[in-house]
Amino acid sequence: MQPPFYSDGLFKAMTFAVTAASIPHRGSAPTLYTVVVGNKASGATITLTKTTDDFNKFGVNLCAALDLGHVCEATCPWFFAHIKASTRPKHNWCLPDAVAVERNLQTFDDLFRAVRSFLQSSANTTCHRATTRIPNVLFDFLFDHMDYIDPAVFAEPPPTKRRLSFQDFRCSLCSVPHSSDVTTLTCGHAFHDECILNELNKHMTCPSCAMAAAS
């Protein structure tokens, strides 16, 4: 199955969620995590099952695709650090108990949110690792070995001319209420591309989160 043409609109329409886990009663069978891939534009959904090993490999492949040390104007270094920090060691992931499984559900769901936020950010369109490699890793993780996928899963939303108003957005780094070229980090805080890239080059943490923790 060949991946679709990737676009900003596609990743704004697609959703990914880890919704449940099936713990084996006996033996060495792995815990299975239910992954639901949806499309807000078409309403189409696909339900998949993945193991902890699958998610572990997914995290490794994401980091490899980012090519640590390359020079670009995107948020690749920050995303790499986020993935490494949020990916637990394999021996912790595979603990066959309800506590570990509940923790994994949250970890894996957070991983999807981080990937989706990275792919949606306009700050990352200048780096082919963000526009091609990471989408390819995501596509392979979700749809590998599938012979057919409903095209409605890849439907894009209709174009919109709406832009954020001054009341909708204000960059906390420069205090200018201008809405073009905005990057939203995985924590939900938004900044102008130029402002946040300068900050991430100094410290690979969200400046708003850092200020809140210090107060």
pLDDT digits (tens, 9 = 90+) for 49-103: 999 899 999 999 999 999 888 888 888 888 898 888 877 655 555 555 778 888 8
Contacts of 81 (CB under 8 A, 6+ apart): 204
Tokens of residue 104, six digits: 């994994």
Pairing assessment for the beta strands 45-50 and 32-39 based on DSSP bridges: antiparallel
Tokens of residue 28, six digits: 């060495």
| Residue indicated by tokens 């949606």 | 120
Please, where are the H alpha helices in the chain?
Answer: 8-13, 52-66, 76-86, 90-93, 98-120, 128, 134-143, 193-202, 207-214
Q: Which domains does the chain have, with CATH numbers?
A: 8-160 (3.30.1520.10), 162-215 (3.30.40.10)
pLDDT at 47: 94
Q: What is the DSSP string of 175-206?
A: -----SSEEE-TTS-EEEHHHHHHHHHH-SS-
Tokens of residue 95, six digits: 């603990």
pLDDT at 51: 92
pLDDT at 179: 59
Contacts of 18 (CB under 8 A, 6+ apart): 33, 34, 35, 105, 108, 109, 112
* Regions in the chain scoring below 70 on pLDDT: 1-9, 26-27, 88-96, 158-169, 177-180, 186-187, 204, 210-215
Is residue 187 within 8 Å of residue 124, measured between CB atoms? Answer: no
Contacts of 161 (CB under 8 A, 6+ apart): none
Q: How many CB atoms lie within 10 A of CB 173?
A: 15
pLDDT at 4: 59
Distance CA 107, CA 93 (A): 10
Name the maximum alpha-carbon separation found in the chain. 59
CA angle 51, 11, 132 (to 5 degrees): 80
Residue type, 11: F
* Strands (DSSP E) found in the chain: 14-22, 32-39, 45-50, 182-184, 190-192
